Amino acid sequence: MALIQPAQPEAHEPGGGRRGRKAVRYAVPVAVVGVTAATIGLVPALADSGDPSLPSLTAEQIITKIAASDTQTVDGTVKISTDLGLPSVLSGGSGSSLFGGAVAPPSTGSRDGSRADPQRQFTQLLIGSHTLHVAVDGQDRQKVSIIESAAEYSLIHNGSQVWAYDSASNEAYHATAPAEAGEDRAHPRQAPSDAFPATPQAAAQQVLKAAQGTATITPDGTARVAGRSAYELLIRPQHASATTVDSIRIAVDSKTGVPLKFSLQPKGKGKAAIDIGYTKVSFDKPSASTFSFTPPKGAKVTEGRDTAREQKSPEGMSGLGEPTFIGSGWDTVAVFKAKGALPAAPEKNAKGGAASLLGGFGKQVSGSFGTGTLFHTRLVNVLLTQDGTVYAGAVDQSALTAAASGAAR
Amino acid sequence: MSRAETTAGPGLQDGEQGQPLVGRQDSGRERLPAPPAPRAGRAVWTLGLFGSELLIVFRRVRTLALLAVLAGVPLLVGIAVRIETRDGSSVGGGDGGGPAFLEQISNNGLFLAFASLAATLPFFLPMAIGVVAGDAVAGEASTGTLRYLLVAPAGRTRLLLAKYASVLTFCVAATLVVVLSAVVVGFSLFPVGDVTLLSGNTVSLSDGILRGLLIALLVASSLIGLAALGLFISTLTDSGIGAMAATVGLLITIQIVNNIPQLHALQPYLFPHYWLSFADVMRAPVIWDGIVKNLALQALYAAVFGSAAWARFTTRDITS
């Protein structure tokens, strides 16, 4: 048998020479792995060169800075992570399928509804981690895109036109925003910011409005967010014993006063329940072509319901009436009186499909409201009673059942 | 190392004289001329070695069959979409299932290229690469031609580099076969026009074709890591079939691990994890993060397994 050995000057080498050389050669891949591991471990630590030093400001000054911010143009990437402790099977969109097709989000709406319907798409932001691309050019032109694996869902507001495009299903959604609408209406009703804050700015505005007088707001050092120096505000609920909110932290850009990061920490250990922050941001004007949309040939276009008519009968949407409120401040519990029986109401559903599914997630409680199903998340607790009334609030479970009992009495 | 290796050639130890010098079973190997001078001819040598490796790879019936299968995928997808959308309905009931870009094909033939790449990248393409890479060294060893190859004073490092270069050339060729077949099928079966990006923006067809070329390049580079891995496995064994099976098996295992949500901590380090980042080219603005991560990961795999293959191949005893 021929034996071709690696070339080696055998005469010069002592007995262990060959083995030694072998070890040296194998050390190369090991060294590459080692250097890579060290780089992955060390670079973030080195890049994190401490918090920026900024002239200290009081909480009022920072809030004034936010209010005085006149930044009208934003072009950035937002990362939203929500960890409410909901079962991840509901999320669907988080796992990428093998062939790169975006996984259909759970059908929250009716089966025949358009996949491009904003209400249907933005629900998925409630669970898991998502990347959004946000472009804003004043009040009239905004675009929010949910970046999915090899697909994208875009909501484009340009003047009086509202377009939504779901590239995974090649479906579009069209609605017109009322032309005479004032500043508040410039965000069309379908805009995500109404239902769920998609940007740190929207989240910060909502919280700061709610926090006035009911929470302590203190400056809490500085931070570096998306490569920019930022002041941090810490908001802690006051006069609220039952709330599940422990603290809220908002990072405000030191130059422009734009909130760059928003995170909400529920009571108890664990990571933030809601974390919305820019990973990349620029305050340059996005190019005009960003906001132009023509539905591609062959795309199925669903016309949105008339915005004006919709506002007259909002309960038509979900079967829920306007909420009434129990309590005040952070302990507020919202009460929805359902018009019809909700699927969760323990009705005799032939095979118990929806009812037993929901019952599996929640737990049965009873009080003077009768019996009901309590759904617990890390932030919000929801109680569905027998008669179809819904109590919801960012309060702990006992406070919620107590509020429900008090209301029913 | 190079000096030692240029003298590497004749390491035949015991009598093989009685046995006739068996020609390479692959008819493609051209006997290389003896080098005129060790230094001046080195570049020519390397090129010659690379050229003969390329000929071996592409003259094989197996390689041509693999390329034919790859060319068939766009044809099948195109015909299926064409039949299903004949009555104006959308593909798959419009629920966004199936490979990425599938929904857009019936309105723009160019999307067939993207859909075909998305459909072949998880398994078809890397399996073809795995077969070619796994066969590169082990195949020679199992047919008994490796030692004759080493008799020529080319040096093991350069032989390995030539092998790796030929596998990488196959990566590009395989990707191009998919793209070209898809473009031919797509342009002949479907209308072609302005391209709507994933973000909803519309760009001209020429812009779309440029993006398509970039995507083809990215897909081909996505296979660099697997090619190095296959080459390393190929140096471990003397069985060509064994190396191919091990490479393809490893690919399937890693693809499964990459889709188990509970193992998400591991996934950013698996070579197929960022493969589908090529779709980010179709956004406006293009998101480069995933693409850069993919290329860096492929470079890392190439460095680790390339050097491991080198360490193994230059220090092992070639017994067959």
pLDDT tens-digit readout, B163-205: 999 999 999 999 999 999 999 999 999 999 889 898 888 899 9
A337 & A278 share domain? no
Total domains in chain A come to 2
User: What's at B133, amino acid-wise?
Assistant: A
Q: Closest Cα partner for A93 from A134, A125, A133, A132?
A: A125
Helix then strand count (H, E) for chain B reads 11, 2
A258 & A326 share domain? no
Residues of B in contact with A165 (CB under 8 A): 199-200
A82 & A131 share domain? yes
A355 & A274 share domain? no
pLDDT of the residue at B200 = 86
With respect to residue A291, please indicate whether it lies within any of the assigned structural domains: yes
Instruction: Classify each residue of B243-259 as buried b or exposed e, where b means 16 or more C-beta atoms within 10 Å of its C-beta.
Output: bbebbbebbeebbeebe
Distance, in Å, from the CA atom of A404 to the CA atom of A174, rounded to the nearest integer, reads 40
Angle B238-B244-B247 (CA atoms, 0-180°, nearest 5)? 110
A348 & A263 share domain? no
Distance, in Å, from the CA atom of A71 to the CA atom of A116, rounded to the nearest integer, reads 30
Distance, in Å, from the CA atom of A232 to the CA atom of A221, rounded to the nearest integer, reads 6
Closest Cβ opposite residue A8 in set B4, B103, B318: B4
Angle A250-A255-A259 (CA atoms, 0-180°, nearest 5)? 25
With respect to residue A327, please indicate whether it lies within any of the assigned structural domains: yes
Chosen domain end from A251, A280, A312: A312
With respect to residue A111, please indicate whether it lies within any of the assigned structural domains: yes
Among A residues 195-254, those touching chain B with beta carbons less than 8 Å apart: none
Is B224 strand, coil or helix? helix
Asked if A181 reaches chain B (Cβ–Cβ under 8 Å), the answer is no
A308 & A322 share domain? no
Asked if A168's CB is within 8 angstroms of B201's CB, the reply is: no
Q: Which of A161, A170, A278 is best to mutate for the B interface (most B CBs within 10 A)?
A: A170
| Mean of all residue pLDDT scores within chain A | 75
Instruction: Classify each residue of A3-33 as buried b or exposed e, where b means 16 or more C-beta atoms within 10 Å of its C-beta.
Output: ebbbbbeeeeeeeeeeeebbeebbebbeebe
Which of A186-200, A253-267, A321-335 is most confident? A253-267
pLDDT at A187 over 90: no
With respect to residue A15, please indicate whether it lies within any of the assigned structural domains: no
Residue B84 tokens read as 């299903």
Distance of CA A87 to the CA centre of its chain: 16
Asked if A166's CB is within 8 angstroms of B96's CB, the reply is: yes
Residues 6+ apart with CB under 8 A from B39: none
With respect to residue A20, please indicate whether it lies within any of the assigned structural domains: no
pLDDT of the residue at A177 = 73
pLDDT of the residue at B222 = 95
pLDDT digits 0-9 by tens, A371-391: 888 888 888 888 888 777 888
A179 & A223 share domain? yes
pLDDT of the residue at A355 = 53
Q: Which of A102-111, A291-300, A315-324 has the lowest mean pLDDT?
A: A102-111
pLDDT of the residue at A87 = 61
Residues 6+ apart with CB under 8 A from A17: A8
Chosen domain end from A283, A312, A341: A312
How many CA within 13 A on the CB side of residue A68? 10
Asked if A28 reaches chain B (Cβ–Cβ under 8 Å), the answer is yes
Nearest chain A residue (CA) to B296 = A36
Above 0.95 for ipTM, yes or no?
no
Q: Closest Cα partner for A96 from A148, A137, A145?
A: A148
| Mean of all residue pLDDT scores within chain B | 84
A118 & A178 share domain? yes
Asked if A99 reaches chain B (Cβ–Cβ under 8 Å), the answer is yes
CATH of the domain at A263: 2.50.20.10
Domain residue ranges of chain B, discontinuous segments joined by +? 41-86+96-315
Q: What's the domain range around A254?
A: 59-312
Residues of A in contact with B303 (CB under 8 A): 29, 32
Instruction: Identify which has the larger pLDDT, A8 or A255.
Output: A255
CA dist A259 to A29, A78, A233, B112, B200, Å?
45, 12, 10, 42, 28
A260 & A394 share domain? no
With respect to residue A349, please indicate whether it lies within any of the assigned structural domains: yes
pLDDT of the residue at B20 = 41
A287 & A344 share domain? no
Chosen domain end from A312, A341, A367: A312
Neighbours of A361 (CB within 10 A): 16
pLDDT at A96 over 70: no
With respect to residue A43, please indicate whether it lies within any of the assigned structural domains: no
Q: Which of B89, B106, B114, B196 is best to mutate for the A interface (most A CBs within 10 A)?
A: B196
Asked if A16 reaches chain B (Cβ–Cβ under 8 Å), the answer is no
A391: distance to nearest CA of chain B, Å? Answer: 33
Q: Please report where in the chains the tokens 């072009």 appear, as a residue.
A: A75
pLDDT of the residue at B116 = 94
pLDDT at A8 over 60: no
pLDDT of the residue at B12 = 38
Is B153 strand, coil or helix? coil
How many CA within 13 A on the CB side of residue A56? 5
pLDDT digits 0-9 by tens, B25-61: 444 444 444 444 455 566 777 788 889 889 988 998 9
Closest Cβ opposite residue A104 in set B95, B193, B198: B95
Which backbone phi and psi does A151 adopt, to 5 degrees? -155, 170
A325 & A277 share domain? no
Distance, in Å, from the CA atom of A394 to the CA atom of A381, rounded to the nearest integer, reads 6
Asked if A158 reaches chain B (Cβ–Cβ under 8 Å), the answer is no
Closest Cβ opposite residue A99 in set B118, B284, B308: B118
What is the band of A305 on the pLDDT scale with cuts at 50, 70, 90?
A: low
pLDDT digits 0-9 by tens, A345-370: 444 444 445 555 555 667 888 888 88
Instruction: Identify which has the larger pLDDT, A128 or A276.
Output: A276
With respect to residue A14, please indicate whether it lies within any of the assigned structural domains: no
Report CA torsion sign: A198, A204, A208, A211: positive
A200 & A327 share domain? no
Low-confidence ranges of chain B (pLDDT < 70): 1-42, 88-98, 320
